[in-house]
């Protein structure tokens, strides 16, 4: 068994809201006779170990690459998203947990067997890249009979836009997406490493972030005209942009919630989007209430 250290008070916040939504979602699928027809999935594409140890110090550093959020002395063991979803009063019919770290996936497997033995048969754990595994899983489903909540909880910019459009195209998925507010990556003068720029293209699924977050102004100086690059990468602008992007492929998109570290710096936008024409309206109402409360 390995320990997984990440997050801070904003992680509690995120997981509490996810928990509330999952309870409400399962309520709909157990109480509404028409909804009962569907088999429901909970999919956690960055599943971790099922538990998390909280750091003693709240000095969080967000790593937009593939690294870790924090590393400090640890104190508590708390339930992570996977265990929260397994511990619901009315569990889902199926669970898919995707985790690229073999050790974390094995710890999660042990935890499922030890803590949720009666649900073990409903659980699939895949050691894989979230983007690849999700797209494959979407293509294997019968969306006339199945519905899902997908939770994307990456450390940083790991989710590819084509994964988001694949999820939306199923018309059967409600998505919770922890989107990185990458203000640090968006450099002041727009001059950035080509690899970072490429990652932003893949993250947003468009090169338009360049014109959205940067503009060029010409100014006359004693030495002639000079071009100045101005950055408009405020948290609100990034938040608005990702919501607009989600709106291009989902039926309904909630106003997201900004999650901050102890120094009040924005880390992520907790986004919600619904892809089912009929279910989107009630889903959005519930999610928006949860995001605002």
Write out the residues near ligand SAM by the rule CB under 6 A.
Answer: 6, 15, 46-48, 52, 66, 80-81, 98-101, 104, 129-130, 153-155, 158
**Cβ pair 73, 165 in contact under 8 A:** no
C-beta closer to ligand SAM: residue 61 or 216: 61
CB of 293 to ligand SAM, least distance (A): 20
Distance from C-alpha of 287 to C-alpha of 25, rounded to nearest angstrom = 10
Residue 239 contacts residue 181 (beta carbons within 8 Å): yes
Whichever of 98 and 149 has its CB closer to ligand SAM, that residue is 98
Q: How far is the CB of 214 from ligand SAM (least distance, A)?
A: 28
Are 290 and 21 in contact by the 8 Å Cβ rule? The answer is yes
> In 3D, which of 242, 287, 231 has the Cα closest to residue 269?
242
Q: Which is nearer to ligand SAM, 38 or 46 (CB)?
A: 46
> Which residue, 99 or 243, is less far from ligand SAM as judged by CB?
99
Residue 119 CB, nearest approach to ligand SAM (Å): 17
Minimum gap (Å) between residue 52 Cβ and ligand SAM? 5
Nearer to ligand SAM, 49 or 256 (CB): 49
Nearest approach, Cβ of 88 to ligand SAM (angstroms)? 15
CB of 59 vs ligand SAM, minimal distance in Å = 17
Nearer to ligand SAM, 80 or 266 (CB): 80
Residues 8, 58 contacting (CB under 8 angstroms): yes
**Which CB, 52 or 245, lies closer to ligand SAM?**
52
**Which of 165, 194, 200 lies closest to 182 in space, CA to CA?**
200
Write 193-202 long-range contacts (CB < 8 A, 24+): 199/157, 200/157, 202/157, 202/160, 202/161
Least distance to ligand SAM, CB of residue 167, Å? 15
Of residues 202, 131, 138, 205, the one with CA closest to residue 169: 138
154: phi then psi, degrees, rounded to nearest 5: -80, 170
Rounded Cα distance between 2 and 260, Å, is 27
Tokens of 23: 């309870």
Q: Which is nearer to ligand SAM, 9 or 240 (CB)?
A: 9
Position of minimal CB gap to ligand SAM: 80
Exposure string for 16-41, b = 16+ CB within 10 A, e = fewer: ebbbbbbebbbebbeeeeebeebebb
Q: What distances in angstroms separate CA 48 from CA 43, 117, 136, 255, one per listed residue?
A: 12, 19, 20, 27
CB of 197 to ligand SAM, least distance (A): 20
């Amino acid at each position: 068994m390995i320990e997984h250290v990440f997050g801070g008070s904003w992680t509690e916040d995120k997981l509490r809201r996810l928990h509330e939504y999952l309870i409400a979602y399962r309520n709909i699928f157990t109480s509404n006779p028409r909804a009962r027809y569907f088999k429901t999935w909970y999919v956690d594409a960055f599943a971790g170990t099922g538990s998390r140890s909280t750091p003693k110090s709240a000095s969080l550093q967000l790593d937009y690459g593939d690294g870790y959020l924090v590393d400090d002395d640890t104190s508590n063991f708390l339930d992570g998203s996977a265990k929260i979803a397994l511990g619901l009063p009315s569990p889902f019919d199926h669970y898919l947990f995707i985790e690229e770290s073999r050790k974390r996936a094995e710890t999660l497997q042990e935890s499922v067997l030890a803590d949720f033995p009666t649900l073990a048969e409903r659980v699939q754990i895949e050691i894989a890249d979230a983007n690849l595994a999700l797209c494959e899983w979407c293509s294997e489903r019968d969306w006339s009979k199945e519905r899902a909540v997908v939770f994307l909880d990456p450390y940083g910019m790991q989710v590819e836009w084509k994964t988001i459009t694949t999820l939306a195209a199923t018309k059967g998925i409600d998505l919770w997406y922890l989107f990185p507010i990458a203000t640090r990556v968006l450099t002041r003068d727009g001059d950035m490493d080509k690899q970072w720029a490429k990652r932003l293209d893949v993250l947003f699924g468009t090169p338009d972030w360049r014109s959205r977050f940067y503009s060029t102004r010409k100014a006359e100086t004693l030495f002639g005209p000079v071009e100045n690059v101005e950055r408009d990468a405020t948290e609100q602008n990034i938040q608005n942009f990702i919501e607009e992007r989600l709106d291009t492929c989902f039926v309904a998109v909630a106003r997201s919630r900004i999650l901050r570290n102890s120094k009040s710096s924005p880390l992520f936008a907790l986004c919600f989007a619904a892809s089912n024409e009929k279910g989107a309206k009630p889903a959005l109402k519930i999610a928006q209430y949860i995001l605002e409360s």
